[in-house]
Amino acid sequence: MIRPEDFFTFSQSIYNSLPSNKDSIELRTCVSRAYYYVFHHLRNRFNNHPKANFSKYAKEEQHREVVNFFYNLKHDDIAKRVANFKRARNEADYDLEKDLKKEDAQKWIHEAKVIVGRASKISPT
């Protein structure tokens, strides 16, 4: 079974093997996999919280509901960070005309650690 941390490890390993700073599928994959680490980690950690019921939503709606969950808890900083990360993941996956740099991937890998770290201070139940 794949764990959320596996997405993060994969993102880091791709980043660490990047030979250059030019836009590439590897850079885009780093951002995308780092986002999915955050999404799956948060959804799994808080799924049993009384204010969360992610499983009642269709898969594509769960991304939005993870953000809304943090707004509902008054953790707007985390909500905004996850929403921004989702936008970055969408850009990496769909906006192929927009160039990404190695620094962009590094920024989002770091952001994944920040989000998960801040969320770990909130009780999961």
pLDDT tens digits, residue range 25-76?
899 999 999 999 999 999 999 999 999 988 787 788 899 999 999 999 999 9
- Structural domains of the chain ordered from first start: 4-119 (1.20.120.330)
Identify the pLDDT of residue 74. 97
Q: Which residue has the tokens 């707004």?
A: 71
Q: Is the pLDDT of residue 79 over 90?
A: yes
Number of other CB atoms surrounding residue 87 within 10 Å: 12
Q: Nearest Cα to 108, choosing from 74, 85, 83? A: 85
pLDDT tens digits, residue range 87-113?
999 999 999 998 888 999 999 999 999
